Structure 1
Amino acid sequence: MRFAREALGLAVLLVAGVVGAEERPQATFAFIVGVNRSVDADELPLRYADDDAARYQDLFRLLGARTYLLARMDQNTERLHPQAAAETSVPNWGEWQRLVEQLTRDVAQARARNLGTVVYFIYAGHGSVHNGQGYVTLEDRRLTGEDLAKGLIQRVEADQVHLIVDACSSYFLAYGRGPGGQRRPLKGFSEVAQLSEDGRVGLLLSTSSARASHEWEAFQSGVFSHEVRSGLYGAADVDGDGRVSYREIAAFVERANAAIPNERFRPQVHARPPKDGTWLVVLGKAMEHRIEVDGQEAQHLRLEDSRGVRLADFHNASGQRTWLARPIGTGPLYLRRMGDGREYRIDSMPEVVQLAALTPQQARTADRGAEHEAFSLIFSLPYDRQVVDAYDFQAPVLLEAEPARRRPTWRRVAGWSALGLAGASLGGGLWTTLSAREARSGNRATLPHAEAMGQNQRIRTLNHRSTTLYVAGALAAGAGLGMLLWPGAPAEALPVAGPDLAGVQLGGRF
């Protein structure tokens, strides 16, 4: 049995080695942005976007990427991630431009050395819409579609570009929306439509039926981001080939949330691989230090480091083997069984740890109470090959819209009344203008002085009256149109991502 396990583990590395031997040597780059506080003053700050950025840096460094980090870290994150804190830059426009320039130069140098180049853009933070224009934010500027498409993706001439976006207050909807909603083009993000014609680009985008991407204190992270990282550590690699495909990661995240009954708390994922590839990451040498779960029983496991940072969660099905790359240099790791709360201590040696060879101990700490009932169901269902085979990201995904809300009766009555008043006022203004013109065209030179003065006064009165009526009519028309045409619900940014389409639309009800 032990020989079989070791042979299978060796096969994982051999497969990864064969993949690397067949393909051109690659240089990998990860541009990571985490923004807790938006440039928009009315947006409530997030708590864990900086933690997500630091953890993404740890993950992609483990996978061999050169990283570029924009995040303002709070004191707790600085203590937990001192290396990231030392390297990060403030997420403002000036630092964004500087790092994009540096990334562009580094990718060009790699291409000059005949290396394949892969760039990951990872964003955790805020997304919204204003005056018909969708955006994500830095601390001092909104990043529109043109900033993203032209200022980053097209400028960095990499062989492949993968976008992983966990944006608060935004939709990433694949094909359409449910009954009761209408859509219109969203200006400013039209440049992103060029992604659908670019075979280099793959998309892994968060969404939620609550119209927001959630954070959870138990993860100290965005829910979607934690699930994505869990899968990219290797838990989503269902066939053990040393690579995580877009289908595998999408099925992994969907399965993790399938048990949550309330759609508002059930994150969804929209995935579209590049046209010239199906893989999101190649685990490669990261799997030289790994944890192997033999799959004799289905169990939900979570991996933490000695600092208490929750690195990954997964739930293997019975009979489903799981391989998890493990970070080195952070002290012992702890793998907790969520069913009974017992945990395994994993030291730095040996390089390959067989979970079946370890003895579980009583957990060091108890879970804190009052965890959110919905999020506590995450990873409660097992993940295996059947889940991946059943997942189809090519199929249109329809997110049910909220029922259209009718405007109150008083708004309709007041709106039409205001338009009627506007019509009467404008008509009166026109009549007085014509009357003044007629009086002015008369032959006043032959009139006695007193009558001429009276005629001039009448013309001035008519002019004043017509001006007043025009102003009143315009104000009444504006008020009436506002009450009749103002959206019944806030307009929403609808970034579109499908197998053959990428763009953004604005949805609202009028």
Structure 2
Amino acid sequence: VRYAVLIGNNAGAADEATLRYAESDATRVSEVLRTLGDFHDEDMVVLLGRDRETIQRVLIAVNARIRAATADADQAVLFVYYSGHADADALHLGGERLELSRLRQLVGGSPADFRMLLLDSCRSGALTRVKGGQPTAAFPVALEERLTGEGLVYLTSSSANEDAQESDSLRGSFFTHYFVSGLVGAADVDGDGEVTLVEAYGYAYEHTIRASSRTLQGTQHPTFEFDVRGQGGIVLTRVRDVARGRARLRFPTGRSYLVLADDADGAVVSEVGVADRARTINVKAGRYFIRGRARDHLLEGTLEVRDQATRFVADDQLKRVEYARLVRKGGGARRVAHGPQLGYQLRTPLWPGTRLCHGLRVGYPVEVQHVSVTTSLGFCRAGFDADDVSVTADEYDLTATVSHVFDLPVVSIGLGLGGGLSLLRQTFVTDGVAPPRNTLGGHGDVILELLWDLPRGFYIVTSVAAQVYVFPQQRANEDQAGMTAVFTGRPFVGVGKRF
């Protein structure tokens, strides 16, 4: 017989920020254990936002039930899970404290043959540190040889001096997200259709370290302590059989996939990592939003999986989405996209009789949510011939633009404003006529651009800018130069690469 007590509490002490996902994490764990882990509703208790006295009373009552059940020679398993605030000494329950020593007493003293306590909270590693538990990358090997149907295991999501972290993109804590993903099949490394405690915790350990290492808070190290006897492994879930109301999703190798219920705003169901050997997960039959992550783009789409069916997720069933579009939209893990841009430009004349100005432009756009900022350097050469005099007219300019990009299904349209400084240089090709003339001016731009995404982060860009140039110019019959304003147009076509 299997018993479970799942505890989630978003509220901590008065000086602690309210968590967003602790209570929903507890609910996720309970749903997986009930559907895949042989835990029955009558033997599970889910406590959300409850006080210390209620938690203690429930644990005592569950232990009493286990004692009565084992009197008939039935073996019992007790799984206790907590997600919420804590410190090295106690759980924080909305202004109240439940001492870790008391929690150890209630779980460790249970009459169940096998007892598991999993804490997904800050500094929860103090629970294992008391008895010499340690974080280690060799956890699966160390535990596999000794895990049995009898004994005691303490599991924590962080070490004694670390914060357990939540992720808005995962809509839950790192550790619980990967623990649940492992339970639904991603941790079934040997492919036997059963996920053991060793496999689930080892999977969560590895992926929590990898994911948290990229955060500002730093790497989060899960810990463990075990006191078990015999051989074998405790099976937490069975994912091979597809019961009524369940289905399976099978993913190709080569990238990671995030699975959300219904649509892109739905609850996160599971994740399969890029290096995971297990590529099949057991889920409820229904509609899912799939997001595959490659190096320079995403694959996204909605798939329907029928009752008791197995559906293979092929890349051609999903739509390719470049990371830059996600950055501009906001809300994703990527906050910025940037990279070089190079192309050919053409500017209409600044002076009557001058030919078109042809040249190159190199820029570096930086894209964040809603806004793209580009700094560019340009060069172009024009010229004219008159009265046996040949003149080249060069422009060197530094330009900055700010634009907003609207993403359409095939093309992205940008509207922006810009401005810059230009060095205008006239050189007389005919010797001895006059020395070169250098003029410093400025320009303001209104820009319309079109962008087409290509594979591997490349894209094609074409734009047209309506410009007004202002620069000093000697007027006829006047001794001093006056400021002149000239309207021009500048088409541009180029390629870029985003990182």
TM-score grouping bracket, smaller chain normalisation: 0.5 to 0.7
Matched AA of 1:232: L
1:31 to partner: Cα distance: 0.5
Matched AA of 2:66: V
CA displacement 1:18-63 (0-9 Å, x = unmatched): xxxxxxxxx212111111112x322232221111111112111112
- Label 1:96 to 1:363 Cα distance change in 2 as closer, same or farther (>3 A): farther
Question: Comparing both structures, which one devotes a greater share of its residues to strand?
Answer: 2
Q: Distance in 1 between matches of 2:46 and 2:87?
A: 22
Matches for 1:137-148 after TM superposition, within 5 Å: 137-148=92-103
Say if 2:130 is the partner of 1:215: no
Matched AA of 1:312: S
Aligned equivalent of 2:347 = none
Matches for 1:24-423 after TM superposition, within 5 Å: 27-38=1-12, 40-62=13-35, 63-65=37-39, 66-72=43-49, 91-129=50-88, 134-154=89-109, 156-172=110-126, 200-207=151-158, 211-256=162-207, 257-258=209-210, 260-261=213-214, 264-276=217-229, 279=233, 281-284=235-238, 287-288=241-242, 289-293=246-250, 295=252, 297-306=253-262, 308-317=266-275, 320-328=277-285, 331-339=286-294, 340-343=297-300, 345-355=302-312, 360-362=317-319, 369=330, 371=332
**Contact in 2 for aligned 1:305/1:332 (Cα 8 Å):** yes
- Label 1:334 to 1:274 Cα distance change in 2 as closer, same or farther (>3 A): farther
SS in 2 for 1:61: helix
SS in 1 for 2:32: helix
RMSD: 3.6
SS in 1 for 2:156: strand
- Label 1:199 to 1:111 Cα distance change in 2 as closer, same or farther (>3 A): closer
Q: Distance in 2 between matches of 1:209 and 1:272?
A: 13
1:280 to partner: Cα distance: 5.0
Q: Distance in 1 between matches of 2:237 and 2:61?
A: 25
**Contact in 1 for aligned 2:8/2:47 (Cα 8 Å):** yes
**Contact in 1 for aligned 2:134/2:225 (Cα 8 Å):** no
**Contact in 2 for aligned 1:208/1:265 (Cα 8 Å):** no
Q: Distance in 1 between matches of 2:20 and 2:169?
A: 12
CA displacement 1:64-103 (0-9 Å, x = unmatched): 313211113xxxxxxxxxxxxxxxxxx1133223322431
- Label 1:127 to 1:113 Cα distance change in 2 as closer, same or farther (>3 A): same
Matched AA of 2:306: M
**Contact in 2 for aligned 1:210/1:264 (Cα 8 Å):** no
**Contact in 2 for aligned 1:292/1:321 (Cα 8 Å):** no
1:141 to partner: Cα distance: 2.9
Unaligned runs of 5+ in 2: 136-146, 336-499
Q: Distance in 1 between matches of 2:289 and 2:167?
A: 20
Question: Comparing both structures, which one devotes a greater share of its residues to helix?
Answer: 1
1:113 to partner: Cα distance: 4.5
Q: Count how many residue pairs are aligned between Structure 1 and Structure 2.
A: 302
Residue identity over aligned pairs, in percent, reads 21
Matched AA of 1:266: T
SS in 2 for 1:283: strand
Q: Distance in 2 between matches of 1:254 and 1:149?
A: 22
- Label 1:120 to 1:37 Cα distance change in 2 as closer, same or farther (>3 A): same
Give the number of the structure whose alpha-carbon radius of gyration is greater.
2
- Higher RCO (Cα < 8 Å, 6 or more apart): 1
Q: Distance in 2 between matches of 1:239 and 1:224?
A: 22
Q: Distance in 2 between matches of 1:250 and 1:177?
A: 14
Q: Distance in 1 between matches of 2:19 and 2:102?
A: 23
- TM-score using structure 1 length: 0.52
**Contact in 2 for aligned 1:300/1:315 (Cα 8 Å):** yes
Matched AA of 2:317: P
Matched AA of 1:349: R
